[in-house]
Amino acid sequence: MDFNLSEEHKMIRDAARDFAQTELLPGVIERDEKQHFPKDLVKKMGELGFMGVMVDPKYGGSGMDTISYVLIMEELSKIDASASVIVSVNNSLVCYGLEAYGTEAQKQKYLTKLATGEFVGAFCLSEPEAGSDATSQRTTAIDKGDYYLMNGTKNWITSGGRADVYLVIAQTDRDKGSHGINAFIVEKGTEGFHVGPKEDKLGIRGSDTHTLQFNDVKVPKENRIGVNGSGFRFAMKTLSGGRIGIASQALGIAQGAYELALKYSKERKAFGTEICNHQAIAFKLADMYTDIEAARLLVMKAAADKDAGNNYDKSSAMAKLYASKVAMEHTVEAVQIHGGNGFVKEYHVERLMRDAKITQIYEGTSEIQKIVISRSILRD
């Protein structure tokens, strides 16, 4: 067991750190305030290889491992979790889903553009009546011979108004339950596919979240992903990797808040000394440091499981459950350490606190992660 990063991993981490500091940091407060999608930054992240980190270079990707992906996600998330969720969805849900389960033609047509950042991808599972209860899909895709006819509503879709390619999960045979679900590729602009208004959110406000409507959308037969009826397992397997991405996002948010709190506590004086010299503050820093390190180990374990070809359903759920809890708890503490300054935008910690909350909700709530973990340990 080696707990040290290789030189190559350190270089990847440093490149992401440098990008986050020089490119993401300058406009992050304004993007949050105005809910601006970071279009130009997504393009730059594509040029740096961050949009297709683990994709095979023959499809335009960077061909890196999951550890590299986690390091990049952590660094981006320390500064801008809105940018990092776009990266996470594109990499671990859309690119992974296509690379692992798509046909060669689908990979050539879509993956090559998604992996370079030329295209942005969205993953559409959630519906108004099927969030945590994802098998209760109401969106239907009826086999009409040459095409599937898709009808229904997806909500909360990240990059929903900005994506070029949407992976959409739909029910093709209600009688078969989770075995009657398929995954499809829907291109933006397809007739009958409408993007609803943008959600006005508490956090990750620079990311773009929309409800999508499918009214008699004709999806070509060749756009189905995988064998007939495999869509629910496709979604679950893809989400296991996605949860590593969101766990590393939570880790980055927590680490970012910790670094700001540490710096502030060494500068701010009260009662004749820097506040870090008050044990109540020093102990908060000790708790933050310890919990963040524990979260990092869980995140790295999940990434290492994926890279080693081990099952990572449980380890990714554990990493997401724990890292998101740490992010929520310790961003609140980072605001506390900043006192009144923590409550204003220019100190960044209030945004990190708002951004932390979503990591306990999307890609499976914390309660859902506990279902995945408990079922796994009881089964084993």
User: Which parts of this chain interact with ligand CAA (CB under 6 A)?
Assistant: 85, 89, 123, 125-126, 132, 134-135, 158, 178, 232-233, 236-237, 239-240, 313, 362-364, 368, 371-372
**Which stretch in 67-75, 125-133, 176-184, 317-325 sits in contact with ligand FAD by CB under 6 A?**
125-133
Known catalytic residue at 118? no
Instruction: Pick the closer one to ligand CAA by CB: 178 or 336.
Output: 178
132 part of the interface to ligand FAD, by CB under 6 A = yes
Q: Return d(Cα 216, Cα 193) in angstroms, integer.
A: 8
Instruction: Pick the closer one to ligand CAA by CB: 337 or 372.
Output: 372
358 part of the interface to ligand FAD, by CB under 6 A = yes
The one catalytic residue among 104, 333, 363, 367: 363
Residue whose pair of structure tokens reads 């798509």 in the numeric block: 102
Give me the helix-helix angle, 81-88 and 231-267, nearest 10°: 160
**Which stretch in 25-33, 56-64, 120-128, 344-352 sits in contact with ligand FAD by CB under 6 A?**
120-128
* Residue nearest ligand CAA, CB atom distance: 362
Instruction: Pick the closer one to ligand FAD by CB: 204 or 302.
Output: 204
Task: Identify the CA nearest to 234 among candidates 184, 165, 183.
Answer: 183
CB distance 357 to 335 below 8 Å: no
**Residue 261 Cα distances to 275, 284, 322, 331, 333, angstroms:** 11, 10, 21, 9, 8
Give me the helix-helix angle, 231-267 and 66-79, nearest 10°: 50
CB of 202 to ligand FAD, least distance (A): 9
123 part of the interface to ligand FAD, by CB under 6 A = yes
> What 8-state DSSP symbol labels residue 6?
P
Question: How many CB atoms are closer than 10 A to CB 63?
Answer: 16
Q: Return d(Cα 148, Cα 166) in angstroms, integer.
A: 15
Instruction: Pick the closer one to ligand FAD by CB: 86 or 292.
Output: 86
CB of 209 to ligand FAD, least distance (A): 5
Q: Of these partners, ligand CAA, ligand FAD, none, which one is at the site of residue 157 (CB under 5 to 8 Å by kind)?
A: ligand FAD
CB distance 90 to 115 below 8 Å: no
Window 152 to 191, contacts with ligand FAD (CB under 6 A): 156-158
Instruction: Pick the closer one to ligand CAA by CB: 146 or 200.
Output: 200
DSSP 28-72: HHHHHHHT---HHHHHHHHHTT-TTTTS-GGGT-----HHHHHHH
Q: Which of 29, 135, 361, 376 binds ligand FAD (CB under 6 A)?
A: 361
- Size of residue set near ligand FAD by CB under 6 A: 21
325 part of the interface to ligand FAD, by CB under 6 A = no
Residue 325 CA neighbour count, 13 Å, CB half: 14
CB of 326 to ligand CAA, least distance (A): 19
Q: Of these partners, ligand CAA, ligand FAD, none, which one is at the site of residue 135 (CB under 5 to 8 Å by kind)?
A: ligand CAA
Instruction: Pick the closer one to ligand CAA by CB: 38 or 342.
Output: 38
124 part of the interface to ligand FAD, by CB under 6 A = yes
100 Cα distance to chain centroid: 18
Active site residues: 363
